[in-house]
Amino acid sequence: MNTKELKQWLSRRRSSKVLDRIRDHLIYVNSCITKSRDFYDFWVKKDEDAAKNMYDIIHQEEKTADSIEAEIVTMLTEGETPDYVRSDLMSFVRMADKAAGSAKRGVKNLLLLISREFPEGINRLIESIFDLLIEEMEGFIKVYDAMFKVEHSELIAIIKKVDEIESAIDVKYGELKYEIAFSTESVPAGSLIILDHAIKDLEEASDLIEDCADMIRSIVLL
């Protein structure tokens, strides 16, 4: 990757249709993650109808994000975008799109458990992970919007914050696995396995968001 050339190309096209469409895509990715937290509120209250409705909304917005991703890929393929720019932007958009898909899968797995009671410690950790995931995504949106608008030192600080939140989610996931290990007497093993898959999906979304922020670091700062 020729990061110097890529940075120059992007800097000349701050208002390009491609970059604007990528911003639109990120809005839907952000919405999927934000609504996942709304889903949790219904889930923990055992409001099955509201939780299912929220999942349906997340599913539809994730599909919209997929459609925008396909549009962006077409724009990059059919346009005059240099090869070194096209590959990086495609990777960037695909990672963000996968983050939305991972969040949706996590919600889908949790929906399977809506009738199951979990220890309060587990519920608190799940809530913390959702809250941190929203904070991480909001931080990443700031990273994208700040790409060409702030000093490098300020952009690095914003990216560092995203990295720190991702690390905090890893810690919470580790704590949750510990809680799961000691809940086998009160919760069926099958439910705990599904729960672990659900939170692993959320952690994967967090990892992908961090990867997107790191890609901006390589595009803009190197």
pLDDT in tens, 100-131: 999 999 999 999 999 999 999 999 999 999 99
Sequence-ordered list of residues with C-beta below 8 angstroms from that of 213, at least 6 positions apart, any chain: 139, 140, 143, 159, 162, 163
Q: Please state the rounded mean pLDDT for residues 80-96.
A: 82
CA max distance for the chain:
61
Res 155: pLDDT: 84
Interhelix angle for 120-145 vs 189-221, to 10°? 20
pLDDT confidence band for 2 (50 / 70 / 90): very low
Chain mean pLDDT for the chain:
89
What fold is seen in the domain 3-221? Methane Monooxygenase Hydroxylase; Chain G, domain 1 (1.20.58)
Higher pLDDT, 183 or 15: 183
Interhelix angle for 48-78 vs 83-111, to 10°? 170
pLDDT confidence band for 15 (50 / 70 / 90): very low
Highest mean pLDDT among 15-19, 47-51, 139-143, 186-190: 47-51
Res 195: pLDDT: 97
Res 88: pLDDT: 80
Res 72: pLDDT: 93
Res 13: pLDDT: 54
Tokens at 167, concatenated: 């690390």
What is the distance in angstroms between the CA of the first residue and the CA of the last residue of the chain? 11
Higher pLDDT, 220 or 9: 220
Res 11: pLDDT: 56
- Tens of pLDDT, residues 150-194: 677 888 889 999 999 999 999 999 999 999 988 888 899 999 999
Q: Dihedrals φ, ψ of 72, to 5°?
A: -65, -45
